[in-house]
Amino acid sequence: MYTVQSATEYTKLFIDGEYVESRSGEKLELRNPKDDTIVTSHVPIAGEEDVDKAVTAAEAAFNGPWGGFSGAKRAECLVKLASLLEDYLEPILTLDSLTTGNPISIIPTREKNYIKNCLLYYAGWTDKQRGDYFPADDGFVKLVRHEPLGVCVAINPYNSPVASLFVKAAPCLATGNVLIVKPSEKSPLGSLAIAPLFEQAGFPKGVVQVLSGGGTTGALLSKHMRVRKISFTGSVATGKKIQIMAAQSNLKRVTLELGGKSPAIIFEDANIENALTWTINGILARSGQVCVAASRVYVQESIASEFIQAYKERMQAAAKQLGNPQDPQTTLGPLADAASFERVKAMVERGKTEAELLAGGNQQGDSGCFMEPTVFVNPKPDAQILLEEVFGPVSVVMTFRTEEEVLALANDTEFGLMGGVFTRDITRALRVSAKVESGVVGINCISVMNLQVPFGGKKSSGIGREFGEYALRAFTEPKTVLINMNA
């Protein structure tokens, strides 16, 4: 009978349908960012032997019974998994709250619904992998079919570890692939806990495996010669390393969802209340630790005074929401760990010399990784807080006069993941959204994703797309079959 164990009991890797000891013998120590107490010091680190064993098991599963599953049978497994998660997802996500600082208050709604909807959405795609037919006008009938890649790897971020697992697993499994999951070294517990539920839902052993570990484990998977695809979510720096290792090994397929510095453009005719709601929520979600955080806010001069004052007051009020992430009443938690906190704190301190501090800017309390929601205005053109992703509850607010000016400012970055345009003028909304250099643009919204449509970035914010039908193509390879009709 499946049960969610305590954090200290996840001491083994999940390979080929069972928990097994790591051959490396190395362990991770995890701390709770609310007070720096040790959550566990026994999480295994997968080494080379462990990775090889998991890849071998994945290949056997891919070439075994799983390869004979019909689309309908794969859908049945995904639907059953969604049903099982109704009972187990909250305690599983609570495990990750212990090491990420994510408030458990978001589990029953935002997290749980997002994961369930993802599984059900891709369950509907399993028998709709249509190909193409071209007539024999030149003597050849041409068929195109989309085939699974084989052994795929998901390397996931620390901010939303289980949600990211399913965003990658659902389209991967819907198209008939097998998956090895490498969760972040900061938040592996939920992924290790959830692994046995796949077999309970009907997936054969080896179809989904979980290897905990740090960068060394991710590197072993990225350069493995029998892994066919890496799907990575995380920093630009790590994404570049993964792409290099993939290219230098076997040219495995790579999807990279990397950092962002999302601009919110607020024109004078915008619904101010709506713009405030979206931009505040867009920088405070998960304490700013999201790639689509609305970290650059551009406000037209004629409404700047009113907007900035209200924005400042709401960010200051949000500081009162900071608290124990394991308390169901808390909506704003700490940063994920001491390293993240020190990085954000250093950027804020430097920001005080490069811009005007409008709100926040300090650690809250004497212990833990709590950073006040922070607002800067009037930054220097080369200010670090303007140019680099902070990954914390820190935003920069600037003013502009014209549409042309704000587009130049918004696009003056190597990031291109998300943008937002706030206006009641639909023609301007469409015109500006077309010129914002990002993979996703919201009109009268920002920092939001939708499962039905592709998500990903331009420029350094990534390669490839997740979500929607586009994710299915990222986990398949087109094969052309030519039939000589004159043979």
pTM: 0.96
Active site residues: 257
Assigned token pair, 93: 């996500």
Distance CA 380, CA 362 (A): 21
SS3 37: strand
User: pLDDT tens digits for the chain (487 residues)?
Assistant: 899 999 999 999 999 999 999 999 999 999 999 999 999 999 999 999 999 999 999 999 999 999 999 999 999 999 999 999 999 999 999 999 999 999 999 998 889 999 999 999 999 999 998 999 999 999 999 999 999 999 999 999 999 999 999 999 999 999 999 999 999 999 999 999 999 999 999 999 999 999 999 999 999 999 999 999 999 999 999 999 999 999 999 999 999 999 999 999 999 999 999 999 999 999 999 999 999 999 999 999 999 999 999 999 999 999 999 999 999 999 999 999 999 999 999 999 999 999 999 999 999 998 899 999 999 999 999 999 999 999 999 999 999 999 999 999 999 999 999 999 999 999 999 999 999 999 999 999 999 999 999 999 999 999 999 999 999 999 999 999 999 999 9
Query: Under a CB-based contact definition with an 8 Å cutoff, are residues 122 and 346 in contact?
Result: no
H or E element, residue 186: none
Question: Could you give the C-alpha distances from 60 to 74, 225, 312, 362, 371, in angstroms and in order?
Answer: 17, 16, 57, 53, 47
Question: Domains in the chain and their CATH numbers?
Answer: 7-258+461-480 (3.40.605.10), 263-450 (3.40.309.10)
Which of 313, 321, 326, 309 lies closest to 372 in space, CA to CA?
Answer: 321
SS3 303: helix
Sheet with 394-400, edge to edge strand ranges: 356-359, 374-377, 394-400, 296-300, 263-266, 418-422, 440-443
State the first-to-last Cα distance of the chain, in angstroms, to the nearest integer.
59
Taking residue 337's Cβ as centre, other Cβ atoms within 10 Å add up to 22
Distance CA 248, CA 376 (A): 42
Specify the residue for token string 């059900």: 120
